[in-house]
């Protein structure tokens, strides 16, 4: 997939693309969209779970695996008011994830940060943590900027990933990072020799097909 922010560079989507799903664009912001969705996953607009967001300002997306055992949630932007803090928003996101898997017992926070500083446009804070619960790992981050002169109105972005601990590293590398990378320059469909599909119908797929010279080859038939 071509990268628009870095000249003459590209990245490869390692997952099999579900071509039955159309590219996703968030209903609140056209800047939040993904050209390729992995097979076995669905994506839809996310909602505010913190209770601090102003209705109509939430631009978020939830990517959920079919077995409901893995989730990637990305909040592009939401305007927040009231008694919010980045830590309070983060805790609400994590608690929602715990309720999703139906397990709120034996929660262990393996690491966390909570810091703030005065930035160029105003107060900036960030909270993040890694949580283990049962056989699941949750990683989450909440970032809030409060511009000067707006009476305490803030703008929140962040992410959360939930996955079985045994699959966590692979899902981050093969699904979650490639999803977010699509926001940096958009892209096109993967080459035929790396898309996980038997494009020429000869029973051989990608590099197992002798017609494929490399993952960059865009024809399985020649």
Residue 152: strand, helix, or coil? coil
Contact by Cβ (8 Å): 214, 206: no
Give residue 48's pLDDT: 95
CB 61 within 8 A of CB 44: yes
Size of the chain, expressed as the number of residues it contains:
222
Cα 125 to Cα 6, 110, 215, distances in angstroms: 28, 21, 42
Domain 24-190, CATH: 3.40.1000
pLDDT of residue 100: 92
The alpha carbon torsion through 141, 17, 102, 28 (nearest 10 deg) reads 60
pLDDT of 168: 96
Identify the pLDDT of residue 35: 86
> What is residue 213's predicted lDDT score, i.e. its pLDDT?
76
Please list the rounded mean pLDDT of every run of 10 residues in the chain (222 residues): 51 84 92 92 96 94 97 96 93 94 82 90 93 95 91 92 96 92 61 77 82 77 80
In eight-state DSSP terms, residue 21 is: S
The residue among 132, 173, 162 whose CA lies nearest residue 69 is 162
Quick one: pLDDT at residue 182?
81
Assign 3-class secondary structure to 68-102: CCCEEEEEEEEEECCCCCHHHHHHHHHHHHHHHHC
Q: Which of 187, 151, 194 is nearest to 9 (CA)?
A: 187
Looking at residue 95, its pLDDT comes to: 94
Give alpha helix (H) positions in 58-174. Answer: 86-101, 168-171
Predicted pLDDT of residue 104: 67
User: Can you tell me the distance from the alpha carbon of 104 to that of 72, in angstroms, rounded to the nearest whole number?
Assistant: 19
What is d(CA 28, CA 44) in angstroms, rounded to the nearest whole number?
Answer: 12
CB 49, CB 93: distance < 8 Å: yes
Best CA proximity match to 77, nearest among 30, 20, 127: 30
- The sign of the dihedral angle between the CA atoms of 49, 109, 169, 141 is positive
Q: Is 45 helix (H, G, I), strand (E, B) or coil?
A: strand
Domain ranges of the chain: 24-190
Give the model's pLDDT for residue 186.
42
Cα–Cα distance for residue pair 219/206, rounded to 1 Å: 9
CA–CA separation, 25 and 171 (whole Å): 22
């Amino acid at each position: 997939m071509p990268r628009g922010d870095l000249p003459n560079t590209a990245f490869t989507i390692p997952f099999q693309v579900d071509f039955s799903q159309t590219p996703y664009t968030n209903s609140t912001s056209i800047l939040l969209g993904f050209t390729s969705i992995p097979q076995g996953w669905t994506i839809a607009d996310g909602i505010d779970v913190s209770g601090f967001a102003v209705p109509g300002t939430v631009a978020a997306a939830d990517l959920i695996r079919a077995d409901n055992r893995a989730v990637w949630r990305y909040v592009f932007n939401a305007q927040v008011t009231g008694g919010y803090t980045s830590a309070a928003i983060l805790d609400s996101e994590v608690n929602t994830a715990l309720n999703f898997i139906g397990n709120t017992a034996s929660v262990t926070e393996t690491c966390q940060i909570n810091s703030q500083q005065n930035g160029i446009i105003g107060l900036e804070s960030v909270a993040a943590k890694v949580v283990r619960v049962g056989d699941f790992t949750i990683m989450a981050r909440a970032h809030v900027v409060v511009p000067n002169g707006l009476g305490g109105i803030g703008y929140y972005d962040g992410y959360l990933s939930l996955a079985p601990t045994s699959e966590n590293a692979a899902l981050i590398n093969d699904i979650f990072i490639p999803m977010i990378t699509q926001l940096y320059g958009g892209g096109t469909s993967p080459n035929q020799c790396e898309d996980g599909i038997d494009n020429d119908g000869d029973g051989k797929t990608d590099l197992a097909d002798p017609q494929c010279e490399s993952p960059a080859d865009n024809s399985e038939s020649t």
